[in-house]
Amino acid sequence: FKLFRCHTIMNCVEVCPKGLNPTRAIGRIKELMLKCSL
């Protein structure tokens, strides 16, 4: 998945004009994928 290209530097959070947190969202998706694979 391309979502794993996130390096969790959190630059996107600092510059996001909408106040979103993609780093947290990507982490949550990774957690859900791990739970589903078990």
Summarised one tens digit per residue, pLDDT across range 1-38 is 565 677 778 888 888 889 999 889 988 988 999 999 87
CA dihedral 12, 24, 5, 29 (to 10 degrees): -150
- The CA distance from 30 to 11, in Å, is 19
Determine contact, residues 20/29, Cβ cutoff 8 Å.
no
How confident is the model at residue 13, as a pLDDT? 86
pLDDT of residue 11: 87
Closest of 34, 1, 3 to residue 24, by C-alpha = 3
Domain coordinates in residue numbering, the chain: 2-37
- What tokens does 38 get? 């078990």
